[in-house]
Structure 1
Amino acid sequence: MLWLKAFHIVFVVSWFSGMFYLPRIFVNLAMEQEREHGGGVTTERLLLMARKLYRFMMMLSVPAVLLGLWLAWMQYGFKLPGWLHAKLALVFLAIGYSHACGGVLKKFERGVNQRSHTWFRWFNEAPVFLLVAIVILVVVKPF
């Protein structure tokens, strides 16, 4: 069980690293879009980085979620405690956020992004709050 926990933590940390950095690339893409109306060398390089990071991030999310579900099943079976229900809800939001990043990336690739770099700076904060709440639920188990 400790090996499963260790690998679960490694995959979660890696997945969230992608969720922390990909929106930062979106900030830079939006700034380039405002500066040169997209299409420049910098924009293409940032899009390439974003595509690779998005694929990597999504690949890492799968084992993170599967190992987490396996651990929950091994420890609790069908009787999940309240804190774990809340954690799973937040994980569901994290999965949604990851997919939303894919939608944003597609908009940048098509050149139809309408959001400002300031909006993406705020968008960039969501995974921080998700991670803090998830870690508190797992460690403190408040209910």
Structure 2
Amino acid sequence: MSDLLIGAYPWIKAFHIIAVIAWMAGLFYLPRLFVYHAEHDVPEALFRTMERRLLKAIINPAMIATWILGLCLVATPGVVDWGQVWPWTKAAGVLAMTGFHGWLSARRKDFERGENRLSGRTYRIMNEVPTLLVVLIVLSVIVRF
């Protein structure tokens, strides 16, 4: 298995980066949809459809691919030294991003049931969470602090 992972490493890394980009794009866009949904008098069905499709067709599969490919990278011999700090900060950032993803999923269900209680301002503030987490994750991997 180690030889397979070592040989496929560049491919796994490339597809991991592609999956991360898709996941992040969705996590940046969904809260913005929630802002418009919460603040504007628009056709509810349109926003519900857009939010559901974004989550189910893009964000969820991209997160799953990110996790699977990331775990393959971690399992590749010589890639991660768990004695350093950076893999732990990256792991914390990825877990927090996954938690944010779950929070967005729950908010989508609130909108679906007509039970949204949060303001557009709250969604604007929450829209900054993935940016902060991406900074932590990228600096952890690239700078390896």
For residues 1-143 of structure 1, the aligned pairs below 5 Å read 1-32=9-40, 36=41, 41=43, 43-55=44-56, 56-76=58-78, 79-80=81-82, 81-142=84-145
Distance 1:49 1:87 in 2: 31
Percent identity, aligned pairs only, is 34
Aligned residues: 135
Query: Does the Cα contact within 8 Å between 2:80 and 2:87 map onto a contact in 1?
Result: no
- The two structures have a TM-score, normalised by structure 2, of 0.88
Segments of 4+ moved more than 4 angstroms:
76-79
Distance in 2 (alpha carbons) for counterparts of 1:79 and 1:27:
41
For the aligned residue pairs, the C-alpha RMSD in angstroms reads 1.5
Once residues 140 and 79 of structure 2 are traced to their aligned partners in structure 1, the CA distance between those partners, rounded to angstroms, is 18
SS of the residue corresponding to residue 111 of structure 1 reads coil
How far did residue 75 of structure 1 move? 3.5
Gap regions ≥5 residues in structure 2: 1-8
